Structure 1
């Protein structure tokens, strides 16, 4: 179902975030995120194009690649910035090597905020880490499910209880993974 019809309006800004996951031939995974901000009108700039960024030219155009193993451990990281409002922005890209050794798991957002908030990072690259983490889960999901062997008697999968549908009382879990489903006290499905 689409959103409701909006009030009359004029577009001002577009942020595009694209994340892609790649299985590498060496058994690792590359997860790439790309963020682009574009205005629909020209804006003033203190450092670019003789004081103006024309409509349609990116204000921000930056990318971040992490390389992970199937346990979602980050084994390499690289950041680039092709367009920024200030040249000084580009000096922070090497800081994202600090992601090496971090695992994508509950608490990942807190860890990345500790590493890259404020003067220690770029707001936009920090924001990009959330969609990249989600893309890492999505890209590797099928392989991790096979490896984790979600059979009866096995540990609770990490995805369990992470959202409405993966709740152990949900009809999806009851139907597809009944051995992980929780039941009400009267032994009926919740």
Structure 2
């Protein structure tokens, strides 16, 4: 169902966040996030030599790549900032190597906010880590789920109760894993 029709309006800004997951030849996974911010009008910029950023030119054009294994451990990380409002913004890119050694699991967002919040990072790169973590989970899910044969007596899969669709009493759980369902199979 689409959104309701909007009131008459004029577009001012577009943020595009794209995340992609790649299976590498060595069995590891590259997960890449790309963020681009563009205004629909010229804006002043004290950080650009011209003194302005023309409409349609990227204010922010940034990427992060993490390399992970199937346990979602981050084995490599890099960030790049092709467009920023200020040249010195790009200096913080190297800080994102601190992602190496982390695991994408509950608490990942808090850990990354502690590592890269405030002046320890870039707000926009930090914001991209949430969608990047989700993309890592989604890109590898089919392989990770195939490796686990859940049967009665096994621990409850971690995905159960993580959202409305995966709640214990959902049709998905009742059909596929009735032994983990709150109310059993139909």
Do the two structures share a fold, i.e. TM-score over 0.5? yes
Give the equivalent residue in structure 1 for 2:17. 17
Tell me by how many angstroms 1:50 deviates: 1.2
1:85-124 equivalence runs, <5 A:
85-124=85-124
2:22 is paired with a residue whose SS is: strand
2:50 is paired with a residue whose SS is: helix
Instruction: For 1:57 and 1:168, locate their aligned partners in 2 and report how far apart those are by CA, in whole Å.
Output: 47
Give the equivalent residue in structure 2 for 1:164. 164
Tell me by how many angstroms 1:92 deviates: 0.3
Instruction: For 2:79 and 2:156, locate their aligned partners in 1 and report how far apart those are by CA, in whole Å.
Output: 35
Give the equivalent residue in structure 1 for 2:173. 173
Instruction: For 2:97 and 2:148, locate their aligned partners in 1 and report how far apart those are by CA, in whole Å.
Output: 29
Instruction: For 2:77 and 2:148, locate their aligned partners in 1 and report how far apart those are by CA, in whole Å.
Output: 26
Conservation of the 8 A alpha-carbon contact between 1:148 and 1:157: no
1:50 is paired with a residue whose SS is: coil
Conservation of the 8 A alpha-carbon contact between 2:175 and 2:185: no
RMSD: 1.3
Deviates more, 1:42-51 or 1:147-156: 147-156
1:65 is paired with a residue whose SS is: strand
Give the equivalent residue in structure 1 for 2:31. 31
Q: How many residues align?
A: 186
1:5 is paired with a residue whose SS is: coil
Q: Which runs of 5 or more residues in structure 1 are unaligned?
A: none
2:163 is paired with a residue whose SS is: coil
Tell me by how many angstroms 1:172 deviates: 1.5
Tell me by how many angstroms 1:49 deviates: 4.3
Tell me by how many angstroms 1:153 deviates: 2.6
Give the equivalent residue in structure 1 for 2:51. 51
Instruction: For 1:40 and 1:52, locate their aligned partners in 2 and report how far apart those are by CA, in whole Å.
Output: 13
Instruction: For 2:143 and 2:96, locate their aligned partners in 1 and report how far apart those are by CA, in whole Å.
Output: 27
Tell me by how many angstroms 1:176 deviates: 1.6
Deviations 1:112-148 (A, max 9, x none): 0000000100000000000000000100001000112
Give the equivalent residue in structure 2 for 1:3. 3
Conservation of the 8 A alpha-carbon contact between 1:169 and 1:189: no
Deviations 1:131-168 (A, max 9, x none): 00000010000100011222333222121110011111
